[in-house]
């Protein structure tokens, strides 16, 4: 049998190649083995965010609280109706990846695309939050849009009048910490609470702006922009206005008429 001289060029090459192969197998195995843990962590994060805007305190584990208080449904954004036959797919439905699949998404006309996202999933998961007696208290709507450096993804909770923002949170973005990243600041998110989406004439009135009104009629609709982060806040304003004023409007109109109260 041929004996390999490990000090030769060929020997060095064979040893390095072998070492690389072993390492790549180890790294790939670790990625595959850790995948279920990653998926569980993502699901847990999603549930924590949804419970936060649902205003539900965790009792026991996050998963137990979530199961007791949150009902996921799929909303057909082309009709504004719940796709009840698809409910089993609703929880954690991957609307973000659907947006790049023409069969599963709708194109947004350029003049409507203020959120800068081009397409969105035809079906969107929405989450009904329930109190201890099973009464629906809020509906949690995912929304997203182009901010300064990244697409920012969040949840907005709307009261059963279909017009009052009860809470907001962002679960994914790449904005600069201390500047655009302040969209995560609970004190800024608290400014959204109680704001109205539409005015008495049924026109979209919610906005985020510098020097927002703190008294008078407009105060009901306006949230102060983050200072030093005008560009991020512009993106968030456009995302909120697009999803609440266009995509979810037919659904919110039903909520405003008292449907879904049970
Ligand atoms: C390194 C760096 C990072 C920045 N990150 C952000 C950001 O995440 N969001 C943002 O709106 N502005 C960011 N800015 C600032 C913008 O360029 C711009 O000055 C700011 O949005 C204007 O806000 P203002 O009108 O409230 O001052 C960043 C600037 C620098 C130099």
- Domain contains 61: no
Atom from ligand 1 closest to the CA of residue 232: 11
Atom from ligand 1 closest to the CA of residue 234: 11
Domain tally, the chain: 1
Is the distance from CB of 161 to CB of 255 less than 8 angstroms?
yes
| C-alpha of residue 213 to centroid of ligand 1, in Å | 23
At 261, the pLDDT band (50, 70, 90 cuts) reads low
Angle between helices 62-69 and 9-54 (to 10 degrees): 50
- Domain contains 14: no
The number of beta carbons lying within 10 Å of the beta carbon of residue 3 is 6
Least confident piece of the model among 25-34, 46-55, 195-204: 25-34
Span 163-183, average pLDDT = 98
Atom from ligand 1 closest to the CA of residue 176: 8
Burial 25-36 (b: 16+ CB within 10 A, else e): eeeeeeeeeeee
- Domain contains 26: no
The number of beta carbons lying within 10 Å of the beta carbon of residue 200 is 8
65 contacts: CB under 8 Å, gap ≥ 6: 51, 56, 57, 58, 59
- Domain contains 171: yes
In angstroms and rounded to an integer, the radius of gyration of the C-alpha atoms of the chain is 23
Nearest C-alpha to atom 1 of ligand 1 is from which residue?
176
- Domain contains 41: no
Residues in contact with ligand 1 by the CB-under-6-Å rule are: 148-149, 175-176, 179-180, 227-232
- Domain contains 209: yes
Q: Which structural domain, as residue segments, surrounds residue 97?
A: 70-256
pLDDT in tens, 70-84: 999 999 999 999 999
- Domain contains 42: no
Whole-model pTM: value is 0.89
- Domain contains 138: yes
Distance CA 250, CA 243 (A): 11
Nearest C-alpha to atom 13 of ligand 1 is from which residue?
229
């Amino acid at each position: 049998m041929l004996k390999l001289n490990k000090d030769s060029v060929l020997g060095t090459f064979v040893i390095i190649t072998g070492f690389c192969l072993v390492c790549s197998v180890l790294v790939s195995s670790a990625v595959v083995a850790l995948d279920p843990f990653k998926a569980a962590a993502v699901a847990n994060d999603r549930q924590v965010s949804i419970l936060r805007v649902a205003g539900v305190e965790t009792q026991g584990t996050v998963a137990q609280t979530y199961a007791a208080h949150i009902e996921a449904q799929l909303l057909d954004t082309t009709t504004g109706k719940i796709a009840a036959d698809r409910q089993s797919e609703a929880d954690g439905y991957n609307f973000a990846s659907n947006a790049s699949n023409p069969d599963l998404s709708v194109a947004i006309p350029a003049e409507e695309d203020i959120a800068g996202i081009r397409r969105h999933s035809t079906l969107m998961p929405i989450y009904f939050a329930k109190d201890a007696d099973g009464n629906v208290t809020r509906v949690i709507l995912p929304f997203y849009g182009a901010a300064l450096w990244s697409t920012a993804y969040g949840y907005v909770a709307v009261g059963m009048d279909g017009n009052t923002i009860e809470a907001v949170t962002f679960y994914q973005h790449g904005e600069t910490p201390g500047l655009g990243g302040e969209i995560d600041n609970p004190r800024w998110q608290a400014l959204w609470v109680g704001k109205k989406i539409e005015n008495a004439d049924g026109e979209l009135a919610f906005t985020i702006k510098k020097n927002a009104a703190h008294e008078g009629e407009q105060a009901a609709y306006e949230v102060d922009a983050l200072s030093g982060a005008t560009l991020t806040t512009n993106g968030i304003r456009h995302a909120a206005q697009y999803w609440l004023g266009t995509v979810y409007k037919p659904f919110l109109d039903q909520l405003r008429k008292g449907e879904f109260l049970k």
